[in-house]
Structure 1
């Protein structure tokens, strides 16, 4: 019965994370704040459901399912990378480099670095 309570709690918690992520995706005002909803809350929601599935199969069928573990690890690794790509695409499409706040470092925003030559970076000359 303790395992069933654990599985139910993981499913309810993952459902709450999914709900908060979905509402945040709809209600947040602009793309940069809206980006946090699917990459944080929804990833935790899906991860919780997959962990609940792993616990279920381990407890009731005595088999370890590595598929769910690999899917969870893949989600936790790829969500921040996806968020970074979406944020960079938004910066290039919607923001003027002159209107961005200072970075607090001697360099500017790496996304808008006009001094770096991309062809040199590919050849490893930088």
Structure 2
């Protein structure tokens, strides 16, 4: 009886989280907000459904499979969201005025010519002395 109630509650919570993810994709205004709605509630919804299946079918094979699915989901969703966000940033799809801190601006800006070069004779291998110009 308790397992049935817990299973139903987890399935309903998972379905509610998945529904909120879908509504967020439809209603949120910009790409970063939609990306957040597509990843966070979707992952939580899936985990709740996995818990429901684990409670309903508590065998070793099922639990192992559910843990593997949860692990893969929790590792691939953030990486995919990161890659989509970075691609959107690079292609100009992210409105810069909405960002509080723009950490990628400096990291992705082109390096001016000569800015990345070391002056000759002043590197860590040279001992810090100027080369003798008369040799």
1:109, distance to aligned residue in structure 2 (A): 3.8
Task: Pick closer, same or farther for the CA change 1:47–1:108 going to 2, 3 Å.
Answer: same
Alpha-carbon distance between aligned partners in 2 of 1:100 and 1:38, rounded to the nearest angstrom: 19
Higher-Rg member (1/2): 2
CA 1:68–1:109 in structure 2 vs 1: closer, same or farther (change >3 Å)? farther
More helix, by proportion: 1
RMSD: 2.6
Tell me the SS of whatever aligns to 1:54: helix
Distance apart, 1:83 and its partner CA: 0.9
What secondary structure is seen at the aligned counterpart in 2 of 1:35?
A: helix
Q: Would you say 1:114 and 2:110 are equivalent positions? A: yes
- TM-score, normalised to structure 2, is 0.70
Size of the aligned set, in residue pairs, is 109
Q: Which residue of 2 aligns with 1:84?
A: 82
Alpha-carbon displacement from aligned partner over 1:24-53 (angstroms, at most 9, x marks no partner): 011111111110011100111111111211
Deviations, residues 64-120 of structure 1 (Å, cap 9, x unaligned): 211111101111111111111010010011259x87867488x9543x1423xxxxx
**Structure 1: runs of 5 or more not aligned:** 116-126
Please, which runs of 5 or more residues in structure 2 have no aligned partner? Answer: 112-135
